[in-house]
Amino acid sequence: MVIWLTLKFYTENYTLHQILFDVPIIVLKTLAAIFLIRWIAQKFFVERQQYILFLLFSVAALTITGFVDLLRDYLGSGRTWSDLPSTGYIIIHSFYYSSADLAAPFLMIMIKKYFENQTSLAVIKEQQKDAELKLLRSQLSPHFLFNNLNTVDALIDSDTQKAKTYIARLSSLYRYFIKTREDDIVPLEDELAMARDYFYLIGTRYGNAYTFKIEEEYAFKQHPDKKTHTAHRSMKAYIPSGALQTVIENVVKHNNVLHDTSIHTYLIITEDTITLTNSKSSKVKNTIESMGTGLKNLKERYELLVGKTVLVTETTTHFEVSLPLVNLTTKE
């Protein structure tokens, strides 16, 4: 403001005396108006929510501070009190003097506050997202450990060696859960290793009632320039932690096997997705265990983490869940 006013008065042929007299008064008047308006806004707009009083006191504050500027203009140019115009003119121009000078400072303050608020909002959203993700991760089936302990108890009496293997697989599964409990996304290959342990537990517990198979389409692809094979892109793919556990658990939770039939489940890996497809039982389970919100939570986690959608397709004979993969290059 000082630089701009000095240049303005210089181009208008003001004397050095006038510049030294006028510029400090305008700056002080503007600062006074800013602090007055801020105090009035805090008292009447924010705290008391008395908007009419806020408007009236703001106009009065601008008029009073503007009158100081008007006096500066008249007295600084050699005029006297008797040269002041009518009361109406004084009120209108006093308000104009202050409001015009406040425009630029208030604009700068608003821009600064806007970006500060945007930054704060981004931090709050990030904190909220982290809290939601932790909540969703904590909503795994509470029956999982209980059911597996029952299986171990039955195996100890019937097949000790198989019980040891079962415990080893169960331990491996829980080590994985503990290792990834704070991870948002994990390598797909780690989730597949977890899935194989999970398949073993289900197969041991239910026998041939459920079958699982992993199919990797384009498991290897040939380099266009070299006659060598490179690992499938899925080895660089990532997936939300526990995603496969959720969809595999969903198969058992919602299908009640009848007689000698089996529920056949396939994990099909492509370039961009991993899809679980399972046949459906003619009799759907209606237990407390099947009333969970696993798929719903998984969809919300995908939206929060990577902004991608989990696709669920259901027919009378099959149920399919397609999970998008997060593919990362070595450079990324």
Q: How far is CA 325 from the centre of its chain?
A: 19
Helical axes 243-254 vs 188-206, angle rounded to 10°: 20
The CA distance from 138 to 141, in Å, is 9
- Per-residue pLDDT band for 289 (boundaries 50, 70, 90) equals very low
Helix (H, G, I), strand (E, B) or coil at 224: coil
Compute the chain's Rg from CA coordinates: 36
pLDDT given for residue 5 in this prediction: 79
pLDDT tens by residue, 40-87: 988 888 888 888 998 999 889 888 888 888 887 777 667 777 777 888
User: Which class is 185-327 in CATH?
Assistant: alpha beta
pTM for this entry: 0.54
Kindly state the greatest CA–CA separation across the chain: 114
Q: Which of 116-120, 157-161, 254-258 has the highest mean pLDDT?
A: 157-161
Where is pLDDT greater, at 120 or 214?
214
What integer pLDDT is reported at residue 226 of this predicted model? 40
Q: In the chain, list all ranges with CATH 3.30.565.10.
A: 185-327
